[in-house]
Amino acid sequence: MAATPGLRYPSNKKTIYDRNLNRSKNAELSRAAFAYLFVEMISYAQKRVKGIADLERRLNQQGYPLGLRLLDLLLTRLPPPSLRPTRILPLLQFIAQTLWRHLFNRPADALEKSESDPAQYMLYDNDPLPNTYISLPREMSQLNCAAFVAGVIEGVCDGAGFPTTGVSAHSVGEQEGGGGVEGRMWPGKTVFLICFRGEVLEREEVLGRGGSG
């Protein structure tokens, strides 16, 4: 491989195209490394924002490109035939199972459709990883650092062609309505609210009719 001017190759002449995609399939990242990096990311964002909503938005933006990349990577690793999700429910199941297993080594805990709003879906996680290493001071108790994971989810949804108005993370651990016994068992319980846009629902309807018709 001749070195072209302006392009530098590493000394062993291997480019990113020579690395196998499945090479890191079962590799595990050290938690300490992630915690260290995540804490730095939060303080980086914190220096530049003035409010909690803004901080959550920054974390969301940091996670978004991850979602786009993980979508394609995880689809290549599915056993063939790999199908792209075209309906909302398979997409959410893909997120709750495959994506969560890839990131946290366990599937998400619950997936619900909201009663009040047909465009809204809720994904529950009893103990999101980013929050285990963050302690919130009292004045910032509204903040939920799982906004980073919410950004990843938003990236996956947008990449698959299901634009959202936003994916946000809320803690429901300490509330009464958070499920009684479960609220006390999992104080870090977080719900991810996924709000799809209007055109997604329209397409769902058309596809739903076409499939059963």
- E strand intervals along 139-213: 164-171, 190-196
Residues 161-200 as x/- pattern, contact with other proteins by CB under 8 A: x---------------------------------------
Q: How far apart are CA 82 and CA 155, in angstroms?
A: 19
CB of 82 or CB of 175, closer to other proteins: 82
List the interface residues with other proteins, window 138-167 (CB under 8 A). Answer: 159-161
Which class for 141: exposed (0-12), middle (13-18), buried (19 or more C-beta within 10 A)? exposed
Q: Is residue 111 a contact partner of residue 92, using CB atoms and an 8 Å limit?
A: yes
CB of 143 or CB of 200, closer to other proteins: 200
Q: How far apart are CA 40 and CA 34, in angstroms?
A: 10
CB of 76 or CB of 165, closer to other proteins: 76
Q: How far apart are CA 13 and CA 1, in angstroms?
A: 8
Least Å distance, CB 77 to other proteins, is 10
Q: How far apart are CA 213 and CA 196, in angstroms?
A: 25
List the interface residues with other proteins, window 52-91 (CB under 8 A). Answer: 65, 68-69, 71-73, 75-76, 81-87, 89-90
Least Å distance, CB 189 to other proteins, is 28
Amino acid at 137: P
Which residues are near other proteins by CB under 8 A? 4, 7, 15-17, 19, 21, 65, 68-69, 71-73, 75-76, 81-87, 89-90, 159-161, 203, 207, 210-212
